[in-house]
Structure 1
C-alpha cells in the first residue's frame, strides 16, 4: 500500500566557491582539448567545451532554473498527469532555490512501481509522450531526463493511476523554430518512408552526406528499409550497415557531429536517456517511435499566433497533411495493438500446450 507523506519546502543551496571551481575545470578541459587536437588532427570536438561551459553556467543560476520550472508548468497546464514542483519565489535567490517537496517512485524503480500497483509499460508510455510533446510541440526541452530527475507518483483518482513528476529544471534548451519544424518534417518522412524528404530534411538540419543514417539513429531501420516502424531490422540491412560502419573514421564521426546543430545534439541526448529508461521498464521501443510520430504530426500544425498570417491554401494543406498523417499513425497503432494481442494469445497458447504435454486434444464433436 502506498502511503505518501508531504513536506512543504525543499531547499537547494549552492556550495560556496562552486563558480570558481567551474572556471578552473573549464580552463583545464580547454587545455586538454587543444592538446588532443594537436596530437590527433582528426579530432574536432573542441566545440564541446564551450557548450559544456554554457550549460553548466545556466545550471548554477537557480533563478534561471526556477523560471524553467515555471515555464514547463505553463506548457503542461492542460495535462493533469504532469507535475512540476511549485517555486516559492520569496525564498529563492541565485544560489538558493526553494520549491515544493514532491514524493514518488524513481521512474526506473520497478520494485517501487509494482509495489504501488502501477503498470511499468503505461509509465513508459506516459514518459515518452511527455518528452515528445516537449520536443515536437513546445520546442522547450528538459536537457537532463535521467531517472533521478523523474518521479512517478501513484494517484488512485486518475485514469492511469499516476503522475509524472519532473525535477531538476537547471538544463533546458529552447529549440530554434525552424529546427523544430524541420525535425517534425523529418519524422513525417520517417513515418511515410519517404527517402527524398529524409534527404532534404537531413541536409537542412546539418547531417550533410550522413543524412541516410538518421533513420537508423532514430527508428532502427535503414533509409530504404521495407520493415514497419518499430520492427526489427532485417538481417540483410544489418549486415550492410555493419559493413559501412567499418569504413568510418574518427574524421567522419567528427564531421557528422560538428555539422549538427546544437539543438539536434540536445534531442539525441534526450532520446538516448529515454531509450535507457524504457528498456529498464521492460517496454518495447516501439512506444517511443509511435509517441514521437504522434507529436511530430501535432507539431506540424501551425501555432495559433502565426496561423492568421497563412493563406487559406496553406491552412487547408496543413489541415489535409495533419488528417493524412493522423490516419497513417492510427493504422500503425492498430497494427501495433493487433500484434500485441496476437503475441499475448501466442504466449498463452504455448503455456497451455506445455501444460498439456505437447498434445492438442481434439473435441469429440469434431470427430
Structure 2
C-alpha cells in the first residue's frame, strides 16, 4: 500500500510538472501573439495558461491587461463591460502585485488605469456618450453621402457605364488564319493569344468611354486649364499612377472602381453575349471603329495623335474605342504562356510578373488592333497607354 501511495505521489508530481511546462509554452506563445498585434489570440492563450496553472500570476495578468487595453483603444465605446473588465483587472493587479522587481509592470498598469478615468464611470453615462457618438457619426455620414451623390452625378455624366451581362465565350485566337488582314510576317505576334479556350465571366459594369484628361484633372484636383479638345482625349498614364487615380476616385465617390481583368476586357470588346464575332471591337473594318495608323496621320506626319473619345462607331454593347486610339491597361500581370493554363471561370491572370497587360491597340497600330491581340506593358515614351474603368 505504501508503494502504491508513493507511486501516485510521483505520478501526480510528474503530471503537475508537465502542466507547468505546457503553461510556460502557452505564455510564451501569448507573448509572441501580443508583439504580432494578435491581441485576441494573446488573451485566449493567457486564459489557457491560467487554466493549466489553476491561478493567475503577475506576468500573466500584466500581459492580459496590456492586450485588453490595445483592443479597447481600437474601439473604446464598443462595450461598457469591456471597459469595466479592464478597470477591475487593473485594480486587482495594483492591490496584489506591489512587489519589488515588478516596478516597470506596475507602472504600466498604473498608467492604463489612469487613462481609463477619461471614460464614463457609469453605464448610464457610457450609453449617453455612445448615443452622442452615433448621432455625430450619422450626421457626418449624411454630409458625406451628399458629397458622394454630387461627385457621382459628375462622374456619371462624363463616364457612363454599361452592364455587361455574364456569359461564356471563346477567348483568344484559334489560329492565325482567323485574322483576315494579318500579314504572314506578323503572325508571330499572336502566339501569346493561343490556344483559344473557353472562359466564363460574371456580369460587370464597364465604362463606355476611355478615361479622359478632364476626369483625370478633376480627380487629382489639377486646376491648370486645358482646352475643350484636349479635355476629351484619353489620358495617358503608367499602370501604377493609374492605381493612384482609381484610389482617389473611389474616395471621392464612395464606389469601387478598378481596371478590368484581361478576360473581362476581351469579353466586353467582343460584344459580350451580343457578339457578332468581328475582328475588331464592333466591326471587321477597323476604320469604322478605331483611330489607327491608317487614319490618325501616322504615315503623313509621323506624329500620330490620339483623338477625342467616342467619335467612332460603338461595338455591340455600345462601348467606344476598344480598338485603337490608346492601349488600355488591364489588371493582370502579363505572361506569354498564360492561356495554356488559364482558369475557365473569371481568370485574374498570373499571380506575379514583371509587366502588366495592355489591350486594344492605339493610333500607331496596324496589325496590333485585333481584339485578340495581347501585349505587355511598355515604356510610356510612345504616349499611347490609357485605360477604361470597371465599377463593382
**How does the TM-score come out when normalised to structure 1?**
0.22
When you count helix as a share of all residues, which structure comes out higher? 1
Bigger RCO (CA 8 Å, 6+ sep): 1
**How does the TM-score come out when normalised to structure 2?**
0.20
